[in-house]
A and B are shown apart, each in its own frame.
Chain A
Amino acid sequence: MNSLFNKLLLICFYYILAGCVVCYGAPSTFKPSIKKIGIIMPIEHKALLEISEGFQETLKVLYSGPIKFKVGNAQGDINLQRAIISQMHDANYDLVVPIATSVVQMTTAMISNQSILGLAADVTEKKDNLAVVNDEIDKEKIIAFIHKVYPKLKNISLVYSSSDKIFPEAAQVETACKHRHIKLHSLMIQNLSDLYSASQAIPQDTEAVFILKDCLVASGINTLVQLTKKRKIPLITSDDGTVQQGASFAVGVSEKDIGIEGAKLAAQILQGVSPGKLSMVKLTKPTIFINLSALKYLDQDLAPIKSAAKAFHYPLVIK
């Protein structure tokens, strides 16, 4: 019985091995005219998926030729991320689209002869083969909006992670709050498991909880939703995904818009424009995403948010 099992295992193994060899030897399925575009995501996350979807949908409309997309998800593994970039490099993709700062940095370090379009990245280095869409909204604008909605706001808590993108943004929030004489209580987490403890450490006199566009904190948003519901204080976020999950309202860029702006650049690159000649696109105008049921639960009127949005000329999206 054991011998039969071993034989079967051997047959299966050789079958897989033969399959691999055949696949390597087979000619490429891509026709030469098809543009190959590789999208690299560092981790599985709704916000990143929306960026990718917005990019793909818009580029299909803007570029008339045939396009083939491949999305590589590194699942938070740096080795896998390297392998994905290396594969896209060796397969001569016409455009490599890394999402998030660290992925753009790695791609730029590994690829020098193919076009790169970085999305949602804060990269200042100039390279001939690199174009960037930066989604960082001035935190002063966000705090100004929150202050307009809650003019009597004195204490606010910020929960943030130690990720590359968020860390400097948290410092900007602190400065913006200082300018407006708002006392900011900052809580940094390094792992998702820290979030519960951090949420319990939010002071009792806090009048609102604020989070940035932070993948790690957004993953555990339910913890903060429960806490803010219990204390009857608003949870203000920076992306529409968290509003759908229970936050009161968000001041931020729509993830899809990042993809759309990226697609506009990608269309130019595919038509032959050098990425280095395209100026960095900065998304500066926030959208206000509102969760009506969450506001109702807090007995909060929609009017102050509406009037603040009108004053700042920010578009409103009611969920």
Chain B
Amino acid sequence: MLETFIAALSQTVTFLPMAVALYISFNILRAIDMTLDGSFVLGAAIFARLVELNVSPVIAAISAVLSGAIAGIGVSIMQRGQKIDSLLAGVLATFILLSGNLLIMGRPNISLLSQVTLVSRAFQNSQLLGWILVTLLSGVFCLIICAILFTKLGLILRALGDNPNLLARRGKPIELYRLLGFAMTNGLAAVSGCLTAQTIGYADIGMSYGMTLTALGTVILGKQILSMGLSMHKFNIGKEFGACFIGVLFYFFAVNGLLRLEINPLYLKMLLGTILIGFLRLAGIAKTRGQI
């Protein structure tokens, strides 16, 4: 049981920034940003390429995060003045990033096994030390974003998602706030990609397959689980962040747990889906009972 939990936790820490990014985009900015898939690979690609070119891992990591933010800015510019629908803009940006990432990497796969990365030395010393460092890096970025959401900027971002017209009527530059929001989310997705590449030992052009959908599922799941015991009606960044964490941890715990029960991976997603439906129904029942 402990092994399953540790395996799930190790996957959670690298995936958490992606889930938080999706949460901000889906729940705060009220847009499903498909660019996150591309930004995830972009973060990994920039980091791997720069490290391969003997650039310092710290500079490579900063460049990876900034490149994700730039991708977010690009998508925001595409949507400027509601000219292109946010979903379509995300899809188009993903198309562009597919080729862009390939151009950056020069080939579809860069191995990091023999490269010095941010966490390689820690992993060489001990697995525990390595994972503590990965957790710290992931946690710091997520906490910075959570801290931003506590500020007035966070309040304006929430207002932008709820009612952009009202914000515009009050004279706020909504395009600038959207740009900041998308830069934040895509930067976080790049953090996730960068950390994932370092822990799995490579950056690959196809490594983001299904990431956005998984992140979306985990965020909704986390909120449902938390709503069984806590009221989620009022916005509370601690609870929202906790929901993301619990959702991701639960998802990976379920995946790892089912695999350890010797379930054929072919049926795993079907069974996982069924279990998650059961959980969501239970959350609904608990919620209804709470209201009564």
Q: Do A and B bind each other?
A: yes
Known contacts A73-B265, A86-B10, A125-B114; is A162 also within 8 Å of B255 by CB? Answer: no
Find out whether the CB atom of A6 lies under 8 angstroms from the CB atom of B285. Answer: yes
Is A303 interfacial (CB-CB < 8 Å)?
no
Q: Which one, B11, B113, B268, contacts A82 given CB within 8 A?
A: B11
Find out whether the CB atom of B209 lies under 8 angstroms from the CB atom of A77. Answer: yes
CB distance from A91 to the nearest CB of B (A): 8
Is B282 interfacial (CB-CB < 8 Å)?
yes
Per-residue CB contact flags for chain A residues 131-157 toward chain B (1 = under 8 Å, else 0) read 000000000000000000000000000
Residues of A within 8 A of B275 (CB): 16
Find out whether the CB atom of B108 lies under 8 angstroms from the CB atom of A79. Answer: no
Find out whether the CB atom of B205 lies under 8 angstroms from the CB atom of A79. Answer: no
Stretch in B50-58, B232-240, B256-264 with 4+ CB within 8 Å of A? B256-264
Residues in A2-19 with C-beta less than 8 Å from chain B: 6, 9-10, 12-13, 16
Find out whether the CB atom of B260 lies under 8 angstroms from the CB atom of A87. Answer: yes
Per-residue CB contact flags for chain B residues 1-40 toward chain A (1 = under 8 Å, else 0) read 1011001001100010000000000000000000000000
Find out whether the CB atom of A82 lies under 8 angstroms from the CB atom of B200. Answer: yes
Find out whether the CB atom of B282 lies under 8 angstroms from the CB atom of A9. Answer: yes
In angstroms, Cα B107 to Cα A163, docked, is: 8
Q: Is the interface of B mostly helix, strand, loop or mixed?
A: helix
Find out whether the CB atom of B259 lies under 8 angstroms from the CB atom of A84. Answer: yes
Residues of B within 8 A of A76 (CB): 206, 209-210
Is A72 interfacial (CB-CB < 8 Å)?
yes
Known contacts A9-B282, A75-B266; is A162 also within 8 Å of B201 by CB? Answer: no
* Residues of chain B at the chain A interface (Cβ within 8 Å): 1, 3-4, 7, 10-11, 15, 98-99, 102, 107-109, 111-114, 196, 199-202, 204-211, 214, 252, 255-257, 259-262, 265-266, 268-269, 275, 278-279, 281-282, 285
- With A13-B279, A76-B210 given, can you name 15 additional A-B contacts, CB distance below 8 Å? A9-B285, A16-B278, A70-B262, A73-B265, A75-B269, A77-B210, A79-B214, A79-B255, A83-B256, A86-B10, A87-B7, A90-B260, A102-B202, A127-B113, A190-B98
